Amino acid sequence: MTHTLTLVRPDDWHLHLRDGAMLKAVLPETTRHFARAIIMPNLVPPVVTMADASAYKARILAAMPKGDSFTPLMTLYLTEETNPDDLAAAHAAGLISAVKLYPAGATTNSASGVADFDKVRPVLERMAEIGCPLCVHGEVTDRDIDIFDREAVFIDRVLDPIRRAVPELRVVMEHITTKDGADYVKANPERLGATITVQHLMLDRNDMLVGGMRPHYYCLPILKRRDHREALLAAATSGDARFFLGTDSAPHPTHAKESECCSAGCFTAPVALACLAQTFDDAGALDKLEGFTSLHGPAFYGLPVNTDTVILTKSDSPVTFPKEIKNGADPVTVFNPGSPVYWSAP
Ligand code: NCD
Ligand code: ZN
C-alpha cells in the first residue's frame, strides 16, 4: 500500500551551492524540491559586498535547470571590514536576505570570518536598524575548547553578549546541534530562530565513529551525543515556529571527503525531504513536518508561504538513493542515513 503526504513546497534556510561546475551539478538537487534557499556566502573568496552577491546570484540563476522555479536568497559574509552602507544598500535593494557570521576559522572557508566581535558591533547595530537578520555559525574556535563543547561555549561567550548588546537584532542560530542550543532558543523567544539539519536529526556521533570512521557523516558543527540529537528532534517535532529546516547541504568532491584530512560537510540536498519524512514518521510527528519544512521559516523571515506543493510517497519497502551525483571528474557522494527510508520525494 502506498501513502502520500502533501506539503506546501519547502524552503531550505541554509544551503551551500558553491560555484562553477559544482554549482551546476548540485543546484538541480535543490530546485527539484525547494522553492527558495538562503545561500551561504563562503565561497573562495567569500561573498562580502553587494557587487559580489549580485554577481553570485546571477551565476546561480544562469545555472538553473530549465523548467524549475527557484529563488536564491542571498547573504553577505560578515568580515571585520564589512561596510554598513554597502550592506544596507544590498538589503534595501532586496538582494540580500541575511548576513552570515562565521567566527574566524570555525569551518570550511571561514578564514575571513570575525575574530574581534567588537569590531563588527556598528554593522550589527545597522542591521538591527534596517531589519536584516544575522545568521550565526555558533561555534567558538579557541584551540583549548573541545570540539564537542564549542556550541555551548559560543552561546555563553559570544551569542548571548551580542544579543544583549544589540537586542533589536534578529538572529538565526544556524544548524544547532545541542540541547543547549535548543534550550537557548526556547528560553529567548524574542527575535531568535534556529535551523536544524537532516543529519543532526538522524545521527549522533556513534553513527560517525563506532565500528569505523565515516567521513560522509563528518560536518561542522560535529555530530553530538544521542541526548542532544533527541533534544533537537523534540524541538523540530514540537511545532514551535522558531525551529525550521536548514539542510546545510554542503557538497565536497568524494575524494575530499575520503581523504587523510576529510572536508566538513554532508551533501543532503537530494535526500533531505525523504529523510525528514522518515524521521518525523518514526517520531509519530508527520503532522509537524510541514511547519518545519515550509511554514516556520517564511514566518521568521517575513516572507510569504509558497503557494504550490510537493507530494511525498511512502512505499512498502525501503527506497534506494543514488550513491553519488556526477560532477565531471569529481563526483559528490550523497548522504545516506544508514537506516531504512520508506519515503521519497519527486
Ligand atoms: C560547510 C561547508 O562545507 O561549506 N561545512 C559543514 O560542515 N557544514 C560550512 C559550514 O556551514 O559550516
Ligand atoms: Zn553551512
Tell whether ligand 1 has an atom less than 6 A from the beta carbon of residue 265. Answer: yes
Q: What is residue 234's predicted lDDT score, i.e. its pLDDT? A: 98
Number of domains observed in the structure of the chain? 1
Of residues 116 and 27, the one with the higher pLDDT is 27
Give the whole-angstrom CA distance, residue 103 versus residue 309. Answer: 37
pLDDT single digits (tens) 264-315 = 999 999 999 999 999 999 999 999 999 999 999 999 999 999 999 999 999 9
Prediction pTM value: 0.97
Task: Please state whether beta strands 309-314 and 96-101 pair in parallel, antiparallel, or not at all (unpaired).
Answer: unpaired
Partners of residue 114 on adjacent β-strands: 103
Distance, CA 264 to ligand 1 centroid (Å)? 6
Task: Give Cα separations from 66 to 33, 60, 70, 97, 298 (angstroms).
Answer: 14, 13, 11, 25, 25
Q: What confidence tier does 110 reach under pLDDT thresholds 50, 70, 90? A: confident
Is pLDDT above 70 for 2?
no
Give the whole-angstrom CA distance, residue 257 versus residue 233. Answer: 27
Residues annotated as catalytic (active site), given as ranges: 248
Distance, CA 299 to ligand 2 centroid (Å)? 21
Domain range for 294 is 3-344
Mean pLDDT of the chain: 97
Specify the residue for cell string 538565526. Answer: 172
Closest Cα to atom 11 of ligand 1: 248
CATH of the domain at 66: 3.20.20.140
Atom of ligand 1 nearest to the CA of 16: 4
Pocket test for ligand 1, best of 23, 110, 248 (most atoms within 8 A of CB): 248
* Buried residues in 111-133 as b, exposed as e (16+ CB within 10 A): ebbbeebeebeebbebbbeeebb
Is pLDDT above 70 for 57?
yes
Ligand number nearest to the C-alpha of 200 = 1
Distance, CA 4 to ligand 2 centroid (Å)? 30
Q: What is residue 189's predicted lDDT score, i.e. its pLDDT? A: 87
DSSP letters spanning 157-181:
IIIHHHHHHSTT--EEETT--SHHH
Burial label, 69 (beta-carbon count in 10 A; 0-12, 13-18, 19+):
exposed
Q: What confidence tier does 105 reach under pLDDT thresholds 50, 70, 90? A: confident
Q: What is residue 1's predicted lDDT score, i.e. its pLDDT? A: 57
